[in-house]
Structure 1
Amino acid sequence: MTTIMYGIPNCDTIKKARKWLENAGISFEFHDYRKQGINQEMVSTFCQHLGWEAVLNKRGTTYRQLTQEQKDGLNASNAVTLLVENPAMIKRPILVVNDQYFIGFKAEQYQEIFS
């Protein structure tokens, strides 16, 4: 089973998800957006599997700092570019398990994924 978690290590949700996987004895690779980077192809793939609206984190400070014009003009084609430029706006974590994509962390959801 191939499991990759994408995110940034200092995120509280990432910390919870990583701890859950470690406690469950599930081996996974962690892809740190800040250290290992992110590109157009990767974000496009996330958006294809999960939908760009789900991938876009509207709760974070980075999103809130956008102008109203930028927020109003968001669509499938320009969201990817914006997310590549601002990886902190990608909802976390994104988990890829055997080519299936999941977003966010809830213990119940992870239990279901790995059962």
Structure 2
Amino acid sequence: MKLFFEYPNCTTCKRAKKFLKENGIEFKEISLKDKTPTKAQIKAVQGSMGIKRLFNTSGKTYRDLNLKENFENLSVDEAIKLLANDGSLVKRPVLIDEENKIFLIGFKEKDWNVLLKK
């Protein structure tokens, strides 16, 4: 099962969800306000993308934690812990398809077309 982490009111998330539905791709919706990806899921995603790409760098929490200036001082484990503990730090939407080893962050339709081949 594909896991779709989102903020329900996010317009980018809505576009991604529409893409999934229009293409008949089954997924489970998970609100980042209620649940974040697990540390293991974050590790899998960051392994294919790099940890910084998983952060919502334009969000208030990112700014409040002064991560722009201090990100380079974080270990990967510290960064993963931050993401797993606070959904507002996670760039959205996130789609995790562990079975097919597909991990998508943000929504760019050309990137998400990889799902149509599975």
TM-score range, shorter chain: 0.7 to 0.9
1:58 matched to which residue of 2? 57
CA distance in 2, matches of 1:60, 1:107: 23
Q: How does 1:27-106 map to 2 (within 5 A)?
A: 27-67=26-66, 70-97=70-97, 98-106=100-108
CA distance in 2, matches of 1:79, 1:42: 13
**Normalising by the residue count of structure 1, what TM-score does the alignment of the two structures yield?**
0.78
Deviations 1:31-75 (A, max 9, x none): 223234544333333323332111122121211111366445223
Q: How many aligned residue pairs are there? A: 114
1:114 matched to which residue of 2? 116
CA distance in 2, matches of 1:13, 1:101: 17
- Secondary structure of 1:29's counterpart equals strand
CA distance in 2, matches of 1:25, 1:15: 15
Q: Cα 1:108–1:45, aligned 2, differ >3 Å: closer, same or farther? A: closer
Give the alignment's Cα RMSD to 1 decimal.
Answer: 2.3
Percent sequence identity is 28
C-alpha contact 2:36 2:85 (8 A) present in aligned 1: no
**Normalising by the residue count of structure 2, what TM-score does the alignment of the two structures yield?**
0.76
Structure 1 spans left out of the alignment, 5+ residues: none
CA distance in 1, matches of 2:36, 2:90: 13
- Secondary structure of 2:44's counterpart equals helix
